[in-house]
Amino acid sequence: MNSQSLNWDDIRFFLAAARTRTLSGAARKLNVGHVTVGRRLAALEQSLECKLFNRTPDGLSLTIEGEAILQQCTDMEAAAVNVGRITAGRDSQVEGSVRIATTEALGRIILPALARLREAHPKLQIHLEAGVRTVDISRREADVALRFVRPTSPNLVCRKVAEVAFSLYTSPAYLQARGTPARGEGLAGHDLIAFTAMPEATAPFFMGESLADARFAMRCNNVAVQLTAAASGMGIAELACFLGDEHENLVRVWPDEAPTIRAAWLIVHEDMRRSARAKAITSAIVNELQEYRSSLRQGRKFSDRFPPIAETQ
């Protein structure tokens, strides 16, 4: 093998495949096509002159050679990430790329602040990933995150920036046809709309009600789709109150019950917090959330500032 021909980018593909154990999983993680993943893995195996993966019906499994280099490749990744963080954290201009990861609900709130920041700093490039997929800031999958789950890594700086109310919503037609469940007696016999995977860190779900004998009518990671499904009478969804309260075809299942409150955390790696662009982003996010602090915690007060979320066609 010619060591000078070893491509660091191929190592990234190797690590993604080793962690996900499928070409499609690695492709999603790297935001490329699965054919590209296969091609890059083949190029790495050719460069190293050895086979790194066995292809099986269940996915990919590391060969002995693959296992042998896994730790070294992981160390290479850590070193590359550290170099990137150190250099990114020492810039003095509000320009360049910033990757932000957040949920769809929180992303909708901070978008106006990001737009104003871009207007003030045209050289700033914002990459916003809105969804429930967990990103690893330690590996530079994002520079800044706004989440309902507080990470435990000592290298991450976390700040509680908001409290957001959640309640159960459905259509009036659903309640008329199926009846209102009694608070504290579970949701047995009712149809539910939920995320594909609900992280335990954000429990309790569905306001702490027992889900025994309830039916999951739909699981979906898109909040707009969940909202539309609930409004169409498909079932009961747990939604942020500032979204649910403003939809004309949704009502709270228990309008007189206090909602569940979840903390929103602003997260940045300790090496990135000195970056001018990261500081500008976090400051803009904090200021926007502070402006709507009481509305986020209560709902019902966004009609004059936010239009109803667009329904999915």
Supply the DSSP symbol for 166.
E
The reported pLDDT for the residue numbered 304 is 45
- Find how far residue 20's CA is from the centre of its chain: 18
Residue 279 has pLDDT above 50, yes or no: yes
List pLDDT tens digits, range 88-114.
555 567 788 888 999 888 998 999 999
- Please state the domain extents for the chain: 3-88, 96-161+264-292, 163-261
Q: Which residues contact 194 (CB under 8 A, 6 or more apart)?
A: 205, 206, 216, 218, 219, 226, 237, 238
Q: Please give the full DSSP string across 51-62, using - where no structure is assigned.
A: --EEEETTEEEE
Q: Tell me, rounded to whole angstroms, the distance of Cα 311 from its chain centroid.
A: 21
E-strand ranges in the chain read: 53-56, 59-62, 96-102, 124-130, 144-147, 156-170, 191-194, 215-219, 236-240, 251-252, 260-269
Whether the CB-CB separation of 311 and 231 falls below 8 Å is answered with: yes
- Tell me the fold of 96-161+264-292: D-Maltodextrin-Binding Protein; domain 2 (3.40.190)
pLDDT in tens, 125-176: 999 888 877 777 767 778 899 998 888 788 888 999 999 999 999 999 999 9
Structural tokens at position 254: 């228990």
Burial of residue 96 (number of CB atoms within 10 Å: 0-12, 13-18, 19+): middle
**Tell me, what's the pLDDT at 230?**
97
Which one of 3.40.50.11600, 3.30.70.20, 3.40.190.10, 3.40.50.920 gives the CATH number of domain 163-261?
3.40.190.10
pTM for the model stands at 0.67
- Give the pLDDT of residue 300: 66
d(CA 169, CA 44): 51
In angstroms, rounded to a whole number, what is the distance separating the alpha carbons of residues 185 and 194? 19
Is residue 259 scored above 60 in pLDDT? yes
Q: Is the pLDDT of residue 2 over 50?
A: no
Q: Which two structure tokens, joined as six digits, stand for 290?
A: 């502070």
> What is the rounded average pLDDT for all residues in the chain?
85
User: Do the first three CATH levels of 3-88 and 96-161+264-292 match, i.e. the same topology?
Assistant: no
Q: Write out the H or E segment, with its range, that includes residue 116.
A: helix 104-120
Higher pLDDT, 189 or 71: 189
What is the Cα–Cα distance from 244 to 69, expressed in whole angstroms?
A: 50
Query: Is the model's pLDDT at 313 over the cut of 70?
Result: no
Q: Per-residue confidence at 85, pLDDT binned at 50, 70, 90?
A: low
- Checking if the pLDDT of 44 tops 50, the result is yes
Q: Which amino acid is at 53?
A: F
Residue 180: CB partners within 8 Å, gap ≥ 6?
253, 254
Nearest to 243 by CA among 160, 134, 167, 191: 167
CATH number of 3-88: 1.10.10.10
